[in-house]
Amino acid sequence: MKHIVITGGAGFIGSHVVRLFVTKYPDYRIINLDALTYAGNLENLADIEKYPNYFFEKANILDIAALENIFEKHRITDVIHLAAESHVDRSIVSPLDFVYTNVIGTVNLLNVARKHWAQDLSKHLFYHVSTDEVYGALGNTGLFTESTPYHPNSPYSASKASSDHFVRAYAETYDMQTVISNCSNNYGPYHFPEKLIPLFINNIIQKKSLPVYGDGLYTRDWLYVKDHASAIDLVFHKGKPDETYNIGGFNEWKNIDLIKLMCSLMDEKLGRAPGENEKLITYVKDRPGHDRRYAIDASKINTELGWKPSATFEEGLSETIDWYLQNTEWLQHVTSGAYQNYYTSMYSNR
Ligand code: NAD
Ligand code: TYD
């Protein structure tokens, strides 16, 4: 019987992973451990909170005593670790917050897991969810593979790279069973409106300007969040111990092309004249150290585990926009209060 702690389960990707595991595996106990920072929101899980195999523990991964209690109380057998500070722009303003949660928090979790599983480490798995940003930036060609050298460029990616190294080091040094996956940019429902896609959907709804960083020719590889959750399910159950898997959408978009697509889809959905939303596009000061291009070679997870994305980008993006249009209350809740201060401080000087 598995008692899995999923950290960061109240966040964007974590909530999709929790929902998938709770509904697909009624025999597992799923413990959502989350500090409920600005990015964590229990409304993301309102539909499954009554399930008998779902438990929520409000805790910070910097609080070792709280982690010990949760491992003890729920007799945790496995970890899927997503809790993190996740936004590059915030990491440029407050790098230390990223060191605390992403590096020290991960090491705390490794230590507590190792201690509680000491009797037989081979029966337990520590799954660390990471990002393709650890590999740095690509030029016009090439893809990130699992053997691409780490070359992080932002405080966020440096902190995630560091956490990946610690997980790998714990596998080597202490014989813990670990697995790491490095995924490309996700999009979908429950995405906090500080990242490109949900921020721009929200701004288009409100007819606010769309701040495009630099020349807008930066490239990202977008994956629907439910496909990331299904990949995590597969890697958790079938991945080889101590391996790493790249996960990506085979779906590269230059920011400006993606933004124009969102504008035209939303002209139609909001009944605005063709071209109306594009008028909101405003080029602003670039992000320092902005990575030019990310693109994942996901052939290992495809050939070894049989995973591939199920949603096309057009379907996924359209579904995502519809979700935001239908969930205005969720959007209002997360953009009230502290969000206004964040927005002013992040965008007023650009
Ligand atoms: P998110 O910011 O939406 O959610 C993070 C969650 O972690 C929140 O619920 C927050 O409350 C919680 N959290 C933060 N600090 C904590 C702490 N100290 N203790 C306990 N809980 C804490 O992030 P996300 O976009 O869902 O990303 C989840 C994971 O996936 C992260 O590890 C991120 O690096 C990784 N990832 C994200 C993407 C992406 O496109 N969003 C892509 C690849 C990998
Ligand atoms: P983001 O969603 O922050 O993800 P990441 O930086 O982790 O890839 O940004 C995606 C791309 O969009 C990135 O090239 C930066 C750009 N961007 C803008 O042009 N304007 C914005 O307001 C934001 C938030 C991002």
pLDDT digits (tens, 9 = 90+) for 203-228: 999 999 999 999 999 999 999 999 99
Query: Rg (Cα) of the chain, in Å, rounded?
Result: 20
Q: How far is the CA of 233 from the centre of ligand 2 (A)?
A: 27
Q: Count CB neighbours of 231 within 10 A.
A: 25
Joined together, the tokens standing for residue 80 give: 């899927």
Domain-embedded: residue 216 = no
What angle, 0 to 180 degrees and rounded to 10, lies between the N-to-C axes of helices 64-74 and 105-116? 40
Per the structure, the complete domain to which residue 57 belongs is given by 3-187+224-247
3-class SS letters over 91-109? HHHCHHHHHHHHHHHHHHH
Q: How far is 54 from 325, CA to CA, in rounded Å? A: 28
Q: How far is 1 from 17, CA to CA, in rounded Å? A: 19
pLDDT at 337: 85
13 lines ligand 1 (CB under 6 A): yes
Which conformational region is residue 173 in: left (phi greater than 0), alpha (psi within -120 to 50 degrees), or beta? alpha
pLDDT at 241: 94
Domain-embedded: residue 258 = no
Domain-embedded: residue 209 = no
**Closest ligand, as measured to the CA of 257:** 2
Which of 43, 82, 100 has most ligand 1 atoms within 8 Å of CB, for mutation?
82
3-state secondary structure of 187: strand
Residue 37 CA, closest ligand 1 atom number: 11
Domain-embedded: residue 192 = no
81 lines ligand 1 (CB under 6 A): no
Residues noted as catalytic? 132-133, 156
Q: Return the closest-CA partner of residue 184 out of 278, 116, 252, 273.
A: 252
Q: How far is the CA of 134 from the centre of ligand 1 (A)?
A: 15
CA distances to 68, 78, 113, 194 from 117, in Å: 12, 9, 6, 38
Q: How far is the CA of 102 from the centre of ligand 1 (A)?
A: 9
* pTM listed for this prediction: 0.98
pLDDT beneath 70, residues of the chain:
none
Which of 144, 200, 220, 228 has most ligand 2 atoms within 8 Å of CB, for mutation?
220
pLDDT digits (tens, 9 = 90+) for 148-170: 999 999 999 999 999 999 999 99
pLDDT at 350: 86
- Reported in sequence order, the residue ranges of 3-115 that DSSP labels E, i.e. its strands, are 3-7, 29-34, 54-58, 78-81
Q: What is the CATH number of the domain that holds 139?
A: 3.40.50.720
Domain-embedded: residue 328 = no
Q: Return the closest-CA partner of residue 69 out of 60, 78, 328, 43.
A: 60
Q: How far is the CA of 262 from the centre of ligand 1 (A)?
A: 25
> What is the number of domains present in the chain?
1
157 lines ligand 1 (CB under 6 A): no
83 lines ligand 1 (CB under 6 A): yes
The protein residue whose alpha carbon is closest to atom 11 in ligand 2 is 196
12 lines ligand 1 (CB under 6 A): yes
The protein residue whose alpha carbon is closest to atom 42 in ligand 1 is 185
Share of the chain above pLDDT 90, in %: 97
